[in-house]
Amino acid sequence: MASISKEPEHEQRDEEEAGANEDEDTGAQVAPIVRLEEVAVTTGEEDEDAILDLKSKLYRFDKDGSQWKERGAGTVKFLKRKDSGKIRLVMRQSKTLKICANHLVTSGMTVQEHAGNDKSCVWNARDFSDGELKDELFCIRFATVENCKAFMQKFKEVAESTEEKEESKEASDTAGLLEKLTVEEKKTEEKPVEKVASAEAEKEKAVEEKKTEDSVPSA
């Protein structure tokens, strides 16, 4: 009895034609219709050094709806300016590179673990990611507890170092002001002495003039 093939006939023909085409080489070269040129993309981070770089997911608290809303998943960084040394927190979405968070880390800022989740933490900031300064409450979640702790530790270090720099600048400004006041007080104290000396000289001059008048005989 002849065997009946379960494979459809048209599929057999397709395979035979495909096999024949694989052996055929026309040698034709197709030139691209549009030539794409490399374009340099600037992110605004060229003058900064990343001191922390972690994968995470960011949320912001919506006050109107009283709920957390996702801002995006991507990479959060602490970036330090090469010229001024100021440090900001920046986070971009992985695929679009859209900015989710963008704010300076300043003295007085605090970060704490999110209640009931040791992989998340929260903080308040004056954020500029939407092109205008807004007070935001952020929550960030990491894949591991270690990454969350590393983020919180770096956040605290930056805030504390900024506070120390501000205190040092304030102390320097105060010292300069006190020195200026001391010099001005010294000048003020010296002025009465000059006036007294001048008065004494005028008095002596008047006495001498009187003596001269007395010594001149009357006509």
Separation of alpha carbons 177 and 169, rounded Å? 12
Q: How much is the pLDDT for 169? A: 60
DSSP state of 96: T
Average pLDDT over residues 142-155: 98
Q: Give, in words, the CATH class of 48-175.
A: mainly beta
In terms of DSSP bridges, do strands 120-127 and 99-104 run parallel, antiparallel, or are they unpaired? unpaired
Q: In what helix (H) or strand (E) does residue 197 lie, and over which residues does it extend?
A: helix 145-215
Q: Across residues 172-196, what is the average pLDDT?
A: 59
Per the listing, tokens 């919180």 go with: 152
Contact of 91 with 104, CB cutoff 8 Å = no
> pLDDT-derived band of residue 2, with 50, 70 and 90 as boundaries?
very low
The pLDDT-based confidence of 111 (bands split at 50, 70, 90) is very high
pLDDT of 36? 72
How many CB atoms are closer than 10 A to CB 111? 19
% the chain with pLDDT above 70: 60
Which residues lie across from 123 on neighbouring strands? Answer: 111, 138
pLDDT (mean) for 143-158: 97
Locate tokens 């002596």: which residue?
204
- For the chain, the average pLDDT equals 79
- Nearest 5 degrees, angle CA 201-CA 207-CA 212? 125
Cβ neighbors of 80 (< 8 A, separation 6 or more) are 48, 49, 50, 51, 86, 87
Q: In the predicted model, what is the mean pLDDT of residues 66-93?
A: 96
Closest CA to 54 of 85, 92, 80: 92
Per-residue pLDDT averaged across 141-169, rounded?
89
- State the pLDDT confidence band at 23, using cuts at 50, 70 and 90: low
Residue 106 and residue 84 in contact, taking contact as beta carbons nearer than 8 Å: no
Six token digits for residue 105: 């880390």
pLDDT (mean) for 15-37? 61
Statement: residue 102 has pLDDT above 60: yes
The predicted model scores a pTM of: 0.61
Mean per-residue pLDDT, 71-84: 96
pLDDT band at 196 (very low <50, low <70, confident <90, very high): very low
Q: Which of 126, 101, 114, 110 is nearest to 158 (CA)?
A: 110
